[in-house]
Structure formats: C-alpha cells, structure tokens
Amino acid sequence: MDCKLEDTNSFDSNFWQDRRVLVTGGTGLVGGWLIKRLLAAQADVVCLIRDWTPQAEIVQNGSLDQVTVVRGDICDQQCLERVLGEHEIETVMHLAAQTIVGIANRNPVSTFEANIGGTWKLLEACRRSPLVKQIVMASSDKAYGDAKVLPYTEETPLAGMHPYDVSKSCGDLIAQTYANTYGSSVCITRCGNFYGGGDLNWNRIIPGTIRSALRGEAPVIRSDGSFVRDYFYVEDGAAAYMHLAEQMAMHPELAGEAFNLSTEIQVSVLDVVQKVLDELDSDLQPVVLGQASHEIKHQYLDAAKARDVLNWRPLFTFEQGLQRTIQWYSNFFNQSTATPIAATPKAPPQPAAAVVGKVA
C-alpha cells in the first residue's frame, strides 16, 4: 500500500447523512454501539436480526426504535438480496457471527454455517446488488491462528486450526476473494478481544468478572489465567468501522485490504481480572479452574498499517475503556434489581482532550 489517507477522527456528516447502511449482527456487542453511532451521524440504518435479545445494547439504548428491522438469517441469501435491493443499501457493515470459542468447539457446524457460509452469501448478495459501494467485514485476530511470531501483522498467514479460528480464517479469505476476483469493495478488520458495556455473555472474562465482583462473588477464570490477549474497547471498534467505510469511499484502491485494529497492549487474563477488582476496590480472589482447551495461548496485534494508511488511532486506553465498561454494568445491574449493588466504580473517563469527538 502506498496511499496515505487524510487524518480524521470525526465522522463525516456529509457522508453518513441519509446514507442507507445495512448492519448485520446488530444485537451483538459491537453492533449495538455501531448503530448508535450511525444514528448520531444521521444514517438511514437497516438492521438484520435473527434472534430477539431484549437485553441487547441496541434495545437498551433505544436505537432499535430508530432503525428498520428485518427479521432474517445471515445464511439466507434470498433474504439478503431482498434487503439490499429493496432498501437500496449503499454501505454494508458485516458483524454477524457466532463469536464464542466454547460454542464453536461444541457446535462447529453452526459456527461454520454462520461465519463462513453467512460471509460468502452476503458477499454474493452484495455482488448482485449494484448500489452497494462499501463493505466492511469484521474478521478477528483469531484468523491468524497460533502464529509463532508476535505481534501479528497483516502479512502473518491466516492459519486457524480449531473451529472458531478456522471459521474466521475462511471468512477472511473469502472476503479477499470477492475483492480480488470480482472487484467487490470490501475491507477486512482484524481486532482483538472486544469488551465494553452491553456484552451479556457472562462466560467472557470482563463481563463475568464485573458481574461477580458487583455481587460480592469470587470471579471464575476458566483457563490458568496466563493467556495473553489484545483487548479492544467496543466504542473504538464502532468508530473505526465508520472511519474505514469513509476512507474506502475516497480511496477505492483499499478494496481487499485487511487492517489490524488494536491498542497494541498485551494483557493476561489474571491482569484483567485484577484490574477490574482494583477498579471496584474489591479484595476478592479469583477461582482459577485451568480448564480451557483449544484456545490460543498468546496473541497481540501490530496496528502500524492502520495508523500509517488510515491515519487511525484508538480513542481510549485499556484502562479508560475498562472504567467506562464497569460504569455501564454498574448502571445495568442497578436498573435491573431493587437492591443497589455494593461496589461503586470510579467515574468513567472521557476521551483524551487530543482526540475528543474523534473516530478511532
């Protein structure tokens, strides 16, 4: 890549106003925050939803009442073609996926169907829909598999070995195929472990630890606690996807490119748990089960390409994102119970002054 894009961290109101955007996976963690941000930019949002999830962020923050909802499955190509055509979609944000490693290990077929089949069916539907101009496809750092050289760059081979990792490797390669063979305007994002308010999968370490601490219960770690991950705050992810779509519109040569998005901070599971407990002034001690299997031991990303080509940077540090996340769950549990929670988190930070109002 030899292009250098204009540095901007605020969404382009002229680009998004009345723009017809399809978001798949809108009831997921990132989807809820992305839709909220798209609505703030006055986009015309269509959301494909399969399962009704009343506690999803898109429902909780009121965004669902402001979007067009299509009930359907990402694996239904006829449905996808109808949505793209009838709603005259211009930009597609593809976030729909089965994202839980444990579920993928137990139910690989449903994971392959959603993450691989759903991707090629959506891309094929987009290929048949001439109004679609940009497709942002969410892959994952797991697409790299258990690479021996760290950090992962975009040149690291995609080499998943277990069901979830393989599903992301395959979906990623399929997206590149549609760009290289058919000229589809698709870019790929590879992010670390997303965290933030609205994640109701309590098996994940951050929401599970926060819930346990707020209840005064010892948090449970499935692994031995030494696994190292790249944690990425959800509001940063939502902002980055919009930023990428804008840059794709200005620079069509980006089609087929993949970008790592990361704060480039390595954090172990034990460190994450301790940071949560410290933030809540809790003296609880975690229970370490040491039972995790088929999971990658050590992962983190190099985001130099996104910085250099997209002039992108995250809005929040890990600690800032964690404080905002804890505040979200504190409010969530206080609203859902008549008894106030015992712990009181510190006030969440705002973005640093240098990047206030900026897209990550």
User: Which positions are annotated as active-site residues?
Assistant: 164
For 96, what's the count of Cα atoms within 13 Å in the CB-facing half-sphere? Answer: 29
Cα distance between residue 58 and residue 107, in whole Å: 27
Q: If we measure between CA atoms, which residue out of 33, 60, 341 comes closest to residue 210?
A: 341
Cα–Cα distance for residue pair 166/172, rounded to 1 Å: 10
With b meaning 16 or more CB within 10 Å and e meaning fewer, what string describes 230-267?
A: bbbbbbbbbbbbbbbbbbbbebeebbbbbbbbbbebbb
Cβ neighbours, 10 Å, residue 323: 19
Q: What are the structure tokens assigned to 114, written together?
A: 């959603």
State phi, psi for 206 to the nearest 5 degrees: -75, -55
